[in-house]
């Protein structure tokens, strides 16, 4: 199922979040690699995430380091615990608080498409 293994996500410009699930040990991981980071089993399954989660941490960036990112200041960087059991970094609405249930949409940031979380309705 190499087609599935190559499933595109926001890091490749597609409006999706994908993660990997190891069928050998059950470990869930977000940074995609050719093996399970927990048990080493090859080619953990690539799955699409629901885009739902809970806010773990937030930081509103007021001082950016490049002209491209400075145009977006202030932007809220968040860590979200995804419903599927992995944690990810993304952007989010400025009113997000730790513990908020959130849902993803995708926004433009510099020349990239990035995951952007808002409070779940």
57: contact with other proteins by CB under 8 A = yes
Handedness of CA 92, 79, 86, 38 (dihedral sign): positive
Question: CB under 8 A: which stretch of 20-28, 42-50, 106-114 binds other proteins?
Answer: 106-114
Q: Least distance from C-beta 85 to other proteins, angstroms?
A: 14
For residue 3, what is the enclosing H or E element? helix 2-5
Q: Which stretch binds other proteins (CB under 8 A): 20-28, 38-46, 73-81?
A: 73-81
Q: CA 3, CA 81: separation in Å to the nearest integer? A: 27
List the one residue out of 113, 48, 51 whose CA is nearest residue 80: 51
Binding residues for other proteins (CB under 8 A): 11, 30-31, 56-66, 69, 72, 75, 77-79, 87-91, 98-99, 109-110, 112, 114
């Amino acid at each position: 199922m190499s087609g599935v293994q190559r499933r595109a996500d926001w890091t490749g410009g597609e409006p999706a979040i994908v993660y990997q699930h190891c069928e050998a040990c059950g470990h869930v991981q977000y940074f995609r690699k050719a093996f399970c980071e927990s048990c080493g089993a090859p080619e953990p399954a690539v799955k699409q995430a629901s885009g739902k989660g809970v806010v773990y941490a937030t930081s509103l960036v007021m001082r950016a380091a490049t002209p491209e990112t400075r145009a977006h200041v202030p932007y809220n960087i968040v860590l979200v615990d995804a419903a599927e059991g992995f944690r990810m970094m993304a952007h989010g609405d400025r009113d997000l608080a730790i513990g908020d249930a959130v849902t993803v949409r995708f926004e433009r940031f510099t020349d990239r498409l990035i995951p952007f979380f808002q409070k779940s309705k």
